[in-house]
Amino acid sequence: GHSYDKYNDLDTINAWSANIAAQNPGLVSRSQFGISYEGRPIYLLKVGRPGVDKKAVLIDCGFHAREWITPAFCQWFVKEAVNSYGSDAQFTDLLNNLDFYIIPVLNVDGYVYTWTNDRMWRKTRSATKNSKCFGTDPNRNFNAAWCTGGSTSNACAETYCGSTPESESETKALADFIRNNISSIKSYLSIHSYSQMLPFPYSYTNAKAKDNAELYAVSEGAVKQLESLYGTIYTYGPSASTIYIAAGCSDDWAYDVGVKYSFTFELRDTGKYGFILPESEIKETCEETMLAVKYIANHVMINA
Ligand code: 0X9
Ligand code: ZN
Ligand code: ZN
């Protein structure tokens, strides 16, 4: 059965999302936002009190298949929203004034594959013409200096950029959703693991983003909140200098189409367990990350 303190498989996550929407009709609704290469539905939860002209924060999890802590975080976020509405003043305020679009698992085919075949799979599961290798790196598949630095046209590589920008059904669905809702989406948070970092654009160039100073201040404030709970240390700053140069990433693409508050989270840990973070760390990881996400959301509510 489903548990917030365990890693849930895709069927369990899909049953959970149907259920939490059914149980909280005034706060949570579920829609199918795309369909994967192998034909699985990709679900989207809209969390917030219905209202007119609401600004929105888009959060995706399960971008890279093996980063299991990330779908766990998206589930945790929705649980906290539902439990906090009407009792926690700050979260209630956020839910009254913002919509949160939550994608619990974007790369559904890859996620299933990590449960059935290869725990360390990263990419999508699409076939590539003239290659026996499968899968594109979804975070190298966006139209932001596509297939230049930090990515490759070698289909067998972990950072394969794909045959064209948005060649993947999953990335195309995400890009279409952002384009179709660009007037309301003010913030995009892409949840990954691991390395305890909170980078922001750009990663395809060493040039600073137009909003660099504000994004730096927001990431600093968010990290302070996160660190206050259990002392987990995060680094933050422009992606290219904080992590590495990488082209075709969703955060850079979203920023360049106009989503100003675009951040990537790299959750626990720093390498002791890496992608295989023990279930015993789910609760602390999610609780500390909630503080950072709420800090950013509050900034968006006030300033966007
Ligand atoms: O390389 C990535 O896609 C991310 N690291 S991961 O280990 N989760 O694969 C980092 C993404 C940071 N953002 C950008 N590079 N734009
Ligand atoms: Zn990742
Ligand atoms: Zn909590």
> Residue 207 in contact with residue 285, Cβ under 8 Å?
no
> Would you state the pLDDT for residue 216?
98
Query: Cα–Cα distance between 112 and 135 in angstroms, integer?
Result: 13
* Catalytic residue positions, numbered: 266
Query: For residue 195, how far is its CA from the centre of ligand 1 (angstroms)?
Result: 10
123-145 pLDDT tens trace: 999 999 999 999 999 999 999 99
Question: In 3D, which of 205, 186, 196 has the Cα closest to residue 262?
Answer: 186
Q: Which residues pair with 98 in a beta bridge?
A: 55
pLDDT tens digits along 200-254: 999 999 999 999 999 999 999 999 999 999 999 999 999 999 999 999 999 999 9
Alpha-carbon distance 106 to 61, whole Å? 6
The angle, 0 to 180 degrees and rounded to 10, between the axes of the packed helices 282-303 and 212-230 is 140
CA distances from 278 to 72, 77, 197, 282 (A): 12, 19, 19, 7
Identify which of 69, 139, 159, 161 to mutate to test ligand 1's pocket (most ligand atoms within 8 A of the CB): 139
ipTM over 0.90: yes
List helix spans (H) across 98-201. Answer: 108-116, 169-180
- Is residue 223 in contact with ligand 1, taking CB distance under 6 Å? no
Q: Cβ distance 297 to 187 under 8 Å?
A: yes
Please tell me if the CB atom of residue 192 comes closer than 6 angstroms to any atom of ligand 1. Answer: yes
Please tell me the pTM assigned to this model: 0.98
Q: What is the pLDDT of residue 177?
A: 98
Low-confidence residues in the chain, pLDDT < 50: none
From the alpha carbon of 244, which atom of ligand 1 is closest? 15
For ligand 1, whether the C-beta of 140 sits within 6 Å is: no
The count of residues in the chain is 304
Q: What is the largest CA-CA distance in the chain?
A: 57
Q: Where are the domains positioned within the chain?
A: 10-303
User: Are the CB atoms for 74 and 293 separated by under 8 Å?
Assistant: no
- CA of residue 107 to ligand 1 center, whole Å: 15
Number of neighbouring beta carbons within 10 Å of residue 271: 9
Long-range contacts of 50-53 (CB under 8 A, 24+ apart): 50/26, 51/96, 51/97, 53/184
- Contact between 10 and 115 (Cβ < 8 Å): yes
Dist CA 13 CA 74 (whole Å) = 10
Q: Compute, in angstroms, the gap from residue 303 CA to the centroid of ligand 3.
A: 26
Q: Ligand 1 pocket, 251 CB below 6 A?
A: yes
Q: What is residue 30's predicted lDDT score, i.e. its pLDDT?
A: 98
**Fold designation for 10-303:** Aminopeptidase (3.40.630)
Q: Amino acid letter at 62?
A: G
25 CA distance to ligand 3 middle (Å): 21
Residue 254 CB less than 6 A away from ligand 1: no
